[in-house]
Chains A and B, each alone.
Chain A
Amino acid sequence: MNSSDTSRRPVALITGASSGIGQATAQALLDAGYVTYATARRPETLGELTARGAHALRLDTTDEDSMIAAVRAVEADHGHIDVLVNNAGYGEMGLVEEVTLDGWRRQFETNVFGLVRLTQLVLPGMRRAGSGRIINVGSGGGEFTFPLAGAYHASKYALEAVSDALRFEVRPFGVEVVLIQPSPVRTPLATTTVDAIRTAPDSPYAGLVAAFRQLSERNIASGRGFLSAESVARVIVEAAQARRPRPRYKLGAVAQTLSLLRHLLSDRSWDALLGRMYRPAASPAPDRRARA
Chain B
Amino acid sequence: MAEQVALITGASGGIGKAAAEGLARGGFQVFAGVRRTGYSDARQGAGITPVALDVTSDEAVTAAIQTVLEQAGRIDVLVNNAGYGQYGSAEDVALADAQRQFDVNVFGLMRVTRAVLPTMRHQGAGRLIMISSVAGRVSTPFAGWYSASKHAVEALSDALRLEVAPFGVQVTVVQPAAIKTGFDDVALDELERTTSTEAYLPMTRAFRRLVEGSYARAPGPEVVAAAVVRAATARRAPIRVAVPGEARLMLLLKRLLSDRLFDALIGAGLRPSRAAAGKPGDLPRHSGRQA
* Chain A positions near chain B (C-beta within 8 angstroms): 64, 95-97, 101, 104-105, 108, 112-113, 116-117, 119-120, 123-124, 127, 144-151, 153-173, 204-205, 208, 246-248, 263, 267-268, 271, 274-275, 278
Contact = CB atoms under 8 A, between A and B. Distances in A.
Contact of B90 (A120, A154, A155): A120
A154 B152 contact: yes
23 contacts: A96-B110, A108-B106, A112-B148, A116-B98, A117-B95, A147-B163, A148-B159, A148-B163, A150-B158, A150-B163, A154-B153, A157-B154, A157-B155, A161-B139, A162-B144, A165-B90, A165-B141, A165-B142, A169-B89, A204-B121, A263-B255, A268-B239, A271-B165
A167 to B, nearest CB: 7
Interface in B235-284: 239-240, 255, 259-260, 263, 266-267
Contacts of B111: 101
Contacts of B121: 204
A105 B89 CA distance: 22
B143 A113 contact: no
- Mostly, the B contact residues are helix
Contact of B91 (A155, A161, A170): A170
A108 B263 CA distance: 26
A108 B102 contact: yes
Given A101-B107, A164-B139, A116 B90 contact: yes
Contact of A104 (B58, B110, B163, B263): B110
A113 B162 contact: no
A164 B259 contact: yes
A157 B151 contact: yes
Given A116-B98, A165-B143, A275-B162, A96 B148 contact: no
A208 B166 CA distance: 10
B157 to A, nearest CB: 9
A139 to B, nearest CB: 11
B12 interface: no
Contact of B156 (A96, A163, A166): A96
Contact of B159 (A96, A101, A120): A96
A187 B181 CA distance: 48
B86 to A, nearest CB: 11
B203 A172 contact: yes
B140 interface: yes
B156 A169 contact: no
Given A150-B155, A153-B158, 17 more contacts: A96-B113, A96-B156, A97-B163, A101-B114, A113-B95, A116-B95, A146-B159, A148-B159, A153-B155, A164-B147, A165-B90, A168-B263, A169-B141, A169-B203, A205-B163, A208-B166, A268-B239
Given A145-B155, A146-B159, A150-B159, A169 B90 contact: yes
Contacts of A97: 113-114, 117, 160, 163-164
A4 B11 CA distance: 64
Given A157-B155, A274-B162, A162 B145 contact: yes
B252 to A, nearest CB: 12
B250 to A, nearest CB: 13
Contact of B155 (A119, A154, A166): A154
B37 interface: no
B99 A113 contact: yes
A146 B162 CA distance: 9
A150 B156 contact: yes
Contacts of B154: 157
Cβ-closest 8 pairs across A and B:
A165-B144, A150-B159, A164-B139, A161-B139, A247-B259, A267-B239, A161-B147, A158-B148
B149 interface: yes
A149 B152 contact: no
Most buried by A among B147, B155, B165, B167: B155
Interface in B113-128: 113-114, 117, 121
A157 to B, nearest CB: 4
A289 to B, nearest CB: 22
B24 to A, nearest CB: 29
B199 interface: yes
A155 B153 CA distance: 10
A125 B240 CA distance: 42
A64 B96 CA distance: 12
Contacts of A150: 155-156, 158-160, 163
B255 to A, nearest CB: 6
Contacts of A172: 203
Contacts of B239: 267-268, 271
A171 B106 CA distance: 29
Contacts of A278: 162
B151 A160 contact: yes
A154 B164 contact: no
B2 to A, nearest CB: 24
Given A96-B159, A97-B114, A274-B162, A158 B149 contact: yes
